[in-house]
A and B are shown apart, each in its own frame.
Chain A
Amino acid sequence: MTEEQPFLRLSGVSKRFGGVQALDDIDWEVRRGEVHCLVGENGCGKSTLIKAVAGVHAPSAGSIEVEGRNVLPLDPGRARALGIQVIFQDLSLFPNLTVAENIGIEGALGGALRPVRRARMREVGREGLERLDFALDLDALVSDLPVAERQITAIARGLAARARLILMDEPTASLTRAEVGRLLGIVARLRQDGIAVVFVSHRLDEVVEIAERVTVLRDGRKVGTWPVAEVDQRRIATLMTGVEIEHEVVARDMSAAPVLLEVGGLSRRGEFADVSFGLRRGEVLGIVGLLGSGRTELALTLFGMTRAESGRIALEGQPLSLRSNRDAVRAGIAYVSEDRLSLGVVLPQSIEDNLIVALMQQLKNRFGLMPPARRRALAAEWVRRLAITIPGLDRPVQTLSGGNQQRIVLAKWLATGPKVLILDSPTVGVDIKNKQGIYEVVAELARQGMGVIVISDEVAEVFATCDRILHMRAGRIIGETVPGAVSEHEMEARIYA
């Protein structure tokens, strides 16, 4: 291969947001028609880098060249005209428009009174989908489509706009394995057409599977770029975090402890069926499975948010009839949602209010008021107990890092004194150091006799925290293992099989 000019070249690109250095002196190249993976921990600057290339954020310093020409200042329109298409994590589709209209929207831009012909839009839509070898109902509203099909629509939109470089931000985060396979096939097809693809992912197995080169970012800096053949998953993980993380398997045999929570034949139509298991006092039970396997739906039923159609739940031998999550909390069940930002914390409101929100009824005095001192003392105590780093109890939760936000959610529930704590993907968006801290909290709670359920699709996480692991697929529990009895790799293969 001759040393040809790269399609995209960034030199010395930096970006500051207020006091945060999001990108620091990045040099980066993407060649024509290559598949290039961009990896890094949350908050490492991946999204900012993509937005800089897409013209959404103007870099504070540095240059961006496309085929050797400086293209700064860049705006979204110009970036698209240069053939740079970004498929954002939220897909940036228009839910109120049809598939054809979404794909053909670029053709509908330009002069205000330029006529738009419906037939032409449909044609563009069909062509885009055909290039992906995919059939979708062109007249379906995007809001009616499942996530995987929305993604196809977004990619087809990029193709219809004559993309030469497609950047995909975490495209597989909400796809099943089969859908991921199909997406990887599409990426291969794009490469054949000479279109470069930058793939941002945190699933390293995918990275190794499709990329030619991989670039690692950490704390806003580029660690380096390597051909995939020269690095393996473990090496990439080390490069991402900067530390050798070696999780110890902590599994203990808890079969002698008394049963705390017992679930028998629990079913809810379309979500899960015939789920039975027991959770013992002081035990940490893992439930692994993909998104859509019924794991979160099961947790919501245990937390009283939805009602099972059949089956029973018993806590300490007492059967429970949960009509709402208030019943669950009263019984001693707490649930930390996987979607911290929209279901865990109330971002703009104060840390204090977020900490006490589940406990307000108990803070009332005989006049029905909550004395400010009592509120503050309770909040301050939990900040101390979970070692949460905060700028002040009055500050909004959104000023905290992901790890500290998650500790706020944990503290909120621990303050209610639960017997059973359900953690749904507890470390999503939490950096490595805080992850370890949260694992330690879980271990400590279990030592104190709490029963903990950890739901996750990260095998390393359940191996590091759980005593026993249940495997869920298509709404059913299909297997049970003990961490260490199989290798992480083997477990991963089972989940994604």
Chain B
Amino acid sequence: MPERAHAGLARLRRRPEIWLLLVILLVGGVFGVTARGFLTLPNVIDLLETYSVQAIIAMGLFVVLVSGGIDISFAATASVAQYCAALLASRVGLPVPLVIAAGLGVGVALGCLNALLIHYFRITSIIATIAMMSVSFSLLMYFSEGRSVYDLPDWWTSRVVFLRAELASGDIVRITLPIVLMAVVALVTWALMTRTSLGRQLYAMGGNPEAARRIGIGTGRLTFFAYGYLGLLAAVGGMVQAHRVGESVPNAMVGTELAILSAAVLGGASLTGGIGTVPGVLLGIVLLAILQNGLNLLGVSPYFFQIVIGITILVSTSITVLSSRRGRRLRQLGGAPAHG
């Protein structure tokens, strides 16, 4: 059926992931030609590892965005979870599983606190999470007095290499723990959101919360899950970050909120809920990553990078909104009444 194929193609063309992929290929191609060392395996692997923390947290934020909410507090959550775990490991000397469990527990608890404020006290998610961010981050700075924890135990900071290969060029590439964790988290999130009942319910709630309630979807449960899951992944991200740098700095993660949010939105996750995919969000991160890395390799000042991010956000969101608006107008004219 050619008509069917045509409809499928049209649908494909409206997916932001496709456009994003094209842009990435284009930008990647340009850098591949102009920036020496950009399209080499070591560079790509290095990029993967550098952006693993952002990607892990973005997966959690993606779930919250799909559910129709927003969270600004995840970087603070990640810092608190990381620092608590670091203290338990270095000062108290708890065994490995307990340290990890405590870190993750702190993340989940902070996420659930957000959900509590949002679901039971009906505080707008952006306000609730901004408030929670100032509370948890400020308390962390207060109690830590801004002091870093340098003496993390070896099990935490030593590099875990899953695969090691020597290239013909003599470079050595390693698939390390952050990369593997990122892949696992992305895969789990993808399966959860597309292959389980929970995922369907989250999309449904994000698309039309009132209708979701009417068909008996427990929106409270889902809210707790979404923010709790983000809290969990923020904690994972926080601990991976400490693993990579070998120390726990209380304010190391602060300021990444807007970058991660930009990546998710670039990847097609909608701020109004119900729309977005795991591959899209990952592509959003990839785009920001290769822009930064490519410009860096070209010798462009790192200070220039933020300008590029700003322009990228403005251009891509405007194009998305404007093109979908045009599509809607055309459909209106072709179809039945525009009401309803």
Task: Indicate yes or no for A touching B, C-beta below 8 A.
Answer: yes
Binding site for B on A (CB under 8 A): 54, 56, 75-78, 80, 86, 88, 90-97, 101, 105-106, 108-117, 137, 139-141, 144, 146-148, 150, 174, 176, 179, 269-271, 291-292
Known: A96-B274, A146-B336. A77 touches B216 (CB 8 A): yes
B169 near A: Cβ within 8 Å? no
Which B-chain residue is minimally distant from A77 (CB atoms)?
Answer: B216
Q: Could you say which of B198, B211, B275 contacts A92, with CB atoms under 8 Å apart?
A: B211
Which B-chain residue is minimally distant from A147 (CB atoms)?
Answer: B340
Chain B residues contacting A86 (CB-CB under 8 Å) are: 214
Chain A residues contacting B332 (CB-CB under 8 Å) are: 270
The answer to whether B208 and A94 touch across the interface, beta carbons within 8 angstroms, is yes
Cα(A92)–Cα(B212), bound, Å: 8
Contact with A along B184-215 (1 / 0, CB 8 A): 00000000000111111101101110111111
Chain B residues contacting A176 (CB-CB under 8 Å) are: 336-337
Chain A residues contacting B339 (CB-CB under 8 Å) are: 147, 174, 291
Chain B residues contacting A139 (CB-CB under 8 Å) are: 7-8, 11
Chain A residues contacting B195 (CB-CB under 8 Å) are: 115-117
Cα(A356)–Cα(B10), bound, Å: 47
The answer to whether B214 and A76 touch across the interface, beta carbons within 8 angstroms, is yes
The answer to whether B211 and A94 touch across the interface, beta carbons within 8 angstroms, is yes
Chain B residues contacting A269 (CB-CB under 8 Å) are: 333
Contact with A along B2-18 (1 / 0, CB 8 A): 00100110010000000
Chain B residues contacting A115 (CB-CB under 8 Å) are: 195-197
Cα(A394)–Cα(B102), bound, Å: 54
Cα(A260)–Cα(B178), bound, Å: 76
The answer to whether B336 and A137 touch across the interface, beta carbons within 8 angstroms, is no
The answer to whether B211 and A76 touch across the interface, beta carbons within 8 angstroms, is no
Cα(A144)–Cα(B334), bound, Å: 11
Q: Could you say which of B207, B208, B216, B335 contacts A109, with CB atoms under 8 Å apart?
A: B216
Chosen A-B contacts, 25 in total, with CB atoms closer than 8 Å, are A76-B216, A77-B216, A78-B216, A90-B211, A94-B207, A94-B274, A95-B274, A97-B204, A97-B274, A106-B215, A108-B201, A112-B225, A113-B198, A114-B197, A117-B195, A137-B7, A139-B11, A146-B335, A147-B336, A174-B340, A176-B336, A176-B337, A270-B333, A270-B334, A291-B337
Q: Which of B4, B203, B333 has the most CB of A within 10 A?
A: B203
Q: Which of B11, B211, B332 has the most CB of A within 10 A?
A: B211
Chain B residues contacting A90 (CB-CB under 8 Å) are: 211
Q: Could you say which of A97, A116, A147 contacts B196, with CB atoms under 8 Å apart?
A: A116
Chain B residues contacting A271 (CB-CB under 8 Å) are: 333
Quote the shortest CB–CB distance from A64 to chain B (angstroms): 17
Chain B residues contacting A110 (CB-CB under 8 Å) are: 197
Chain A residues contacting B197 (CB-CB under 8 Å) are: 108-116
Quote the shortest CB–CB distance from B278 to chain A (angstroms): 15
Cα(A292)–Cα(B337), bound, Å: 5
Chain A residues contacting B198 (CB-CB under 8 Å) are: 112-113
The answer to whether A94 and B204 touch across the interface, beta carbons within 8 angstroms, is yes
The answer to whether A80 and B215 touch across the interface, beta carbons within 8 angstroms, is yes
Cα(A88)–Cα(B211), bound, Å: 9
Quote the shortest CB–CB distance from B181 to chain A (angstroms): 21
Contact with A along B140-174 (1 / 0, CB 8 A): 00000000000000000000000000000000000
Quote the shortest CB–CB distance from B227 to chain A (angstroms): 15
The answer to whether A114 and B196 touch across the interface, beta carbons within 8 angstroms, is yes
Cα(A373)–Cα(B336), bound, Å: 48
B91 near A: Cβ within 8 Å? no
Which A-chain residue is minimally distant from B222 (CB atoms)?
Answer: A112
Binding site for A on B (CB under 8 A): 4, 7-8, 11, 195-201, 203-204, 206-208, 210-217, 225, 273-275, 331-337, 339-340
The answer to whether B207 and A95 touch across the interface, beta carbons within 8 angstroms, is yes
The answer to whether B211 and A101 touch across the interface, beta carbons within 8 angstroms, is no
The answer to whether A146 and B200 touch across the interface, beta carbons within 8 angstroms, is no
Cα(A108)–Cα(B210), bound, Å: 17
The answer to whether B200 and A95 touch across the interface, beta carbons within 8 angstroms, is no
Cα(A270)–Cα(B208), bound, Å: 30
Chain B residues contacting A109 (CB-CB under 8 Å) are: 197, 201, 215-217
Q: Could you say which of B11, B214, B274 contacts A88, with CB atoms under 8 Å apart?
A: B214
Cα(A179)–Cα(B332), bound, Å: 17
Which A-chain residue is minimally distant from B211 (CB atoms)?
Answer: A92
Which B-chain residue is minimally distant from A150 (CB atoms)?
Answer: B340
Given contacts A86-B214, A112-B197, 18 further A-B contacts (CB under 8 A): A76-B215, A92-B215, A93-B208, A105-B215, A108-B197, A109-B215, A112-B196, A113-B196, A113-B198, A115-B197, A116-B196, A146-B337, A147-B337, A147-B339, A269-B333, A271-B333, A291-B337, A291-B339
Quote the shortest CB–CB distance from A352 to chain B (angstroms): 28
The answer to whether A105 and B204 touch across the interface, beta carbons within 8 angstroms, is yes
The answer to whether A96 and B206 touch across the interface, beta carbons within 8 angstroms, is yes
Cα(A54)–Cα(B215), bound, Å: 9
Which A-chain residue is minimally distant from B333 (CB atoms)?
Answer: A270
Chain B residues contacting A77 (CB-CB under 8 Å) are: 215-216
Cα(A409)–Cα(B204), bound, Å: 36
Cα(A97)–Cα(B274), bound, Å: 8
The answer to whether B216 and A80 touch across the interface, beta carbons within 8 angstroms, is yes
Cα(A77)–Cα(B333), bound, Å: 38
The answer to whether A116 and B199 touch across the interface, beta carbons within 8 angstroms, is yes
Chain B residues contacting A150 (CB-CB under 8 Å) are: 340
Chain B residues contacting A141 (CB-CB under 8 Å) are: 11
Cα(A147)–Cα(B198), bound, Å: 28
Known: A139-B11, A146-B336, A174-B339. A108 touches B200 (CB 8 A): yes
Which B-chain residue is minimally distant from A55 (CB atoms)?
Answer: B216
Chain A residues contacting B215 (CB-CB under 8 Å) are: 76-77, 80, 92, 105-106, 109
Cα(A21)–Cα(B212), bound, Å: 27
Quote the shortest CB–CB distance from B219 to chain A (angstroms): 11
Which A-chain residue is minimally distant from B218 (CB atoms)?
Answer: A77
Chain A residues contacting B274 (CB-CB under 8 Å) are: 94-97
Chain B residues contacting A137 (CB-CB under 8 Å) are: 4, 7
Chain A residues contacting B210 (CB-CB under 8 Å) are: 92
Cα(A80)–Cα(B4), bound, Å: 34
Cα(A291)–Cα(B204), bound, Å: 30
Chain A residues contacting B337 (CB-CB under 8 Å) are: 146-147, 174, 176, 291-292
Cα(A54)–Cα(B210), bound, Å: 14
Quote the shortest CB–CB distance from A423 to chain B (angstroms): 18
Quote the shortest CB–CB distance from A179 to chain B (angstroms): 8
The answer to whether B207 and A96 touch across the interface, beta carbons within 8 angstroms, is yes
Quote the shortest CB–CB distance from B76 to chain A (angstroms): 27
The 5 closest A-B CB pairs, nearest first, are A77-B216, A92-B211, A270-B333, A292-B337, A146-B336
Quote the shortest CB–CB distance from A108 to chain B (angstroms): 4
Chain A residues contacting B203 (CB-CB under 8 Å) are: 94, 96-97, 101
Cα(A110)–Cα(B335), bound, Å: 36
Chain A residues contacting B11 (CB-CB under 8 Å) are: 139, 141
Which B-chain residue is minimally distant from A157 (CB atoms)?
Answer: B215
